[in-house]
Amino acid sequence: MISVTQALQIISAQATRFAIEEIDLLQSTGRILAQIVVADRDFPPFNRATMDGVAISSQSFEEGARCFNIEDIQPAGHPQKELKDDNNCIEIMTGAMLPIGTDAVVRYEDLDIANGVATVNLNSVSPYQNVHLKGTDEKKGEILANAGVKITPAIIAAMATVGLSTVKVYCLPRVAVCSTGDELVPVTQQPESHQIRQSNSYMLLSALQQEGITATNYHLPDEPEAMTSQMKTMLQQYDVLLFSGAVSKGKFDFLPQVLQQLGMQTLFHSIAQKPGKPLLLGQFNNGPIVFGFPGNPVSTWVCYQLYFKAWLYQSLGIAIPSVSAELGKTVVFKPALTHHLLVKLNYKNGRIIAQPIDTSTSGDMVNLMKADGFLSLPANEEVFAEGRVFEVQLF
């Protein structure tokens, strides 16, 4: 067995750099930006009102004026107007250009308007109150977003503002998800007493969708020739093969043998950890990388989160989300294995508490649903005290 650290180092060495494609702006949410986004003009591009009201000269107010004749109106989206008389005002709408000759906006709530006259009910008016000044957010030519970030709705808005109808993003790998085992039947089928419905594959397919990856689902029987036949086609079509099950030491766990016969180089096939000890990693020359997850749901899920996402995120140049949290109770774990402990996060007096979730086995799917993430307890210790701080990898 190798350590978790060694396994992650080997996976890191297999990371690649994906090609770049240009896609429609609205299709880019959640993808990884592969270009810089630059302001094509000042943000905002003009002095703009942040409230509905009237635009006045603060100097006139300072000199004693309180009643201002309304001489015009400045709607948003219209060319800038000019105040003809310093003792007058122009009605203005939120987002509109501040008229020439004015430098302050008084809200409708602070006015009485009658017979075309606006009376200001304030003791003071400051220059540029309720005004968003030109260029205060960003100047023309400044970088709004760097390459290598996940595109959020806010970044979409910034790209739309600078006129990007298409955007360059990193390509995503072509992924096949393969469940294994004669005991598995489709979710639409009523299982016999000796069968169970497929679930791990749906868990992985759903997780990949969160990364923007639409994977293809396969099911392989516990029969080497049938496995070989299906996998020969997969090797030509996919960049990543994710297997669930058939990687341990059982008499029907044919997957490692079949993959090796097809030319896979085994990079490792056992990690000193719980859950997920028999995790398999392999690589085909000029072909896909292979992750063989143990078949139990918790093992599959933790290994996907810790190892596949390490490869994917490093290949995309982004960090895996995590938070620091205090262990919610003392945990004792004596085997010399790294223990990936499922936790539920709670918040107490400004601190994040990671409360361990008691799972009966690595097949405990019900308690898996309660977990927000996991933390990894080091293999060279046995007692982990309540209050100790760990990094929690978030699901």
Q: Are 327 and 392 in contact (CB under 8 A)?
A: no
- Percentage of residues in the chain with pLDDT exceeding 70? 93
Give the tens place of pLDDT for each residue, 30-41.
999 999 999 999
Q: Are 34 and 20 in contact (CB under 8 A)?
A: yes
| Domain 4-18+172-316 shares a fold with domain 48-132 | no
Rounded to the nearest 5°, which phi and psi values hold at 297?
-55, -45
183 or 200, greater pLDDT: 200
Give the dihedral of Cα atoms 266, 272, 273, 275; nearest 10 deg.
60
Question: Sign of the CA dihedral 392, 393, 394, 395?
Answer: negative
Q: Are 331 and 377 in contact (CB under 8 A)?
A: yes
**Is the pLDDT assigned to residue 87 strictly greater than 60?**
yes
Which option is the CATH number for 48-132: 3.40.50.300, 2.170.190.11, 3.40.50.1370, 3.40.1280.10?
2.170.190.11
* CA atoms of 278 and 293, how far apart (whole Å): 8
**CATH 3.30.1330.10 for the 322-394 domain, yes or no:** no
Give the tens place of pLDDT for each residue, 298-325.
999 999 999 999 999 999 999 998 999 9
Nearest to 326 by CA among 389, 249, 242: 389
Burial zone of 317 (CB within 10 Å; 0-12 exposed, 13-18 middle, 19+ buried): middle
Rounded to the nearest 5°, which phi and psi values hold at 259?
-60, -40
Q: What is the reported pLDDT for 251?
A: 56
**Is the pLDDT assigned to residue 114 strictly greater than 60?**
yes
How would you label 212-241 residue by residue, b for 16+ Cβ within 10 Å and e otherwise? Answer: bbebeebbbbbeeeebbebbeebbeebbbb
Instruction: Summarize the confidence of residues 88-92 as an average pLDDT.
Output: 98
CA angle at 321 for the pair 155 and 280, rounded to the nearest 5°: 125
Lowest-pLDDT range of 104-118, 227-241, 244-258: 244-258
- Percentage of residues in the chain with pLDDT exceeding 90? 82
pTM (predicted TM-score): 0.83
**Is the pLDDT assigned to residue 182 strictly greater than 60?**
no
Instruction: Summarize the confidence of residues 214-234 as an average pLDDT.
Output: 89
Give the dihedral of Cα atoms 252, 256, 257, 262; nearest 10 deg.
130
4-18+172-316: CATH homologous superfamily?
MoaB/Mog-like domain (3.40.980.10)
Those residues whose C-beta lies under 8 Å from the C-beta of residue 389, and which sit 6 or more positions away, are 324, 325, 326, 327
Q: What is the reported pLDDT for 247?
A: 76
Structure tokens at 178: 């393969």
- Mean pLDDT value across the chain: 92
Number of C-alpha atoms within 13 angstroms, CB side, residue 146? 3
Q: How far is CA 25 from the centre of its chain?
A: 17
What is the longest distance spanned by two Cα atoms in the chain? 95
Lowest-pLDDT range of 50-64, 249-263, 347-361: 249-263
Instruction: Summarize the confidence of residues 90-99 as an average pLDDT.
Output: 98
Query: What is 20-43+136-170's CATH number?
Result: 3.90.105.10
* CA atoms of 175 and 214, how far apart (whole Å): 8
Which residue ranges make up each domain of the chain? 4-18+172-316, 20-43+136-170, 48-132, 322-394
**Is the pLDDT assigned to residue 366 strictly greater than 80?**
no
**Is the pLDDT assigned to residue 162 strictly greater than 60?**
yes
- The top-scoring range by mean pLDDT among 236-250, 350-364, 373-387 is 373-387
Neighbouring C-beta atoms of residue 78, cutoff 10 Å: 11
**Is the pLDDT assigned to residue 213 strictly greater than 90?**
yes
Strands 196-197 and 184-185: parallel
Question: Sign of the CA dihedral 62, 68, 72, 74?
Answer: positive
Q: What is the reported pLDDT for 368?
A: 86
Q: What is the reported pLDDT for 88?
A: 98
Rounded to the nearest 5°, which phi and psi values hold at 143?
-80, 125
**Is the pLDDT assigned to residue 363 strictly greater than 70?**
no
Rg from Cα positions in the chain: 31
Those residues whose C-beta lies under 8 Å from the C-beta of residue 128, and which sit 6 or more positions away, are 47, 103, 104
Q: What is the reported pLDDT for 195?
A: 56
